[in-house]
Amino acid sequence: MTTKKASSKPVILTTLYRGVFFGYAAPAEIANGRWAKEGATVKLSRSRNIVYWSADCKGFMGLAANGPTASCKIGPACGIELRNVTAVLDVEPDAAEKFEAAPWA
């Protein structure tokens, strides 16, 4: 099991440019839909680019619920500041652990 600051939560963010990212956001970063305003940014720590997910994940919402499978492509972790965020999804704890394994088929 991975340990994270209590003040961050695992999320998946999508962007206007079709980017899909997993990472940890401070609640203030995503509160009250502030991320949806034009020009707003969201900072993620230990973010991973979700390059590819397979059909068995059942879409990007399935990734948030269940995490990636062995046939997915999940990049290495780094900090990132994302612009033009279109969605913020809460990630289940078990799914977050699977993202930490960073499968790359």
**Between the CA of residue 63 and those of 33, 53, 94, 101, what are the distances in Å?**
21, 8, 11, 14
Task: Give 32-83 pLDDT, tens digit per residue.
Answer: 787 887 778 899 999 999 999 999 999 999 999 999 999 999 999 999 999 9
Which domains are assigned to the chain?
A: 9-100 (2.30.30.100)
pLDDT above 70 as % of the chain? 94
Mean pLDDT of the chain: 90
Q: Which residue has the higher pLDDT, 102 or 75?
A: 75
CB-based burial of residue 97 (10 Å sphere; 0-12 exposed, 13-18 middle, 19+ buried)?
middle
Q: State how far the Cα of 45 lies from the Cα of 47, in Å rounded to an integer.
A: 5
9-15/85-90 β-pairing = antiparallel
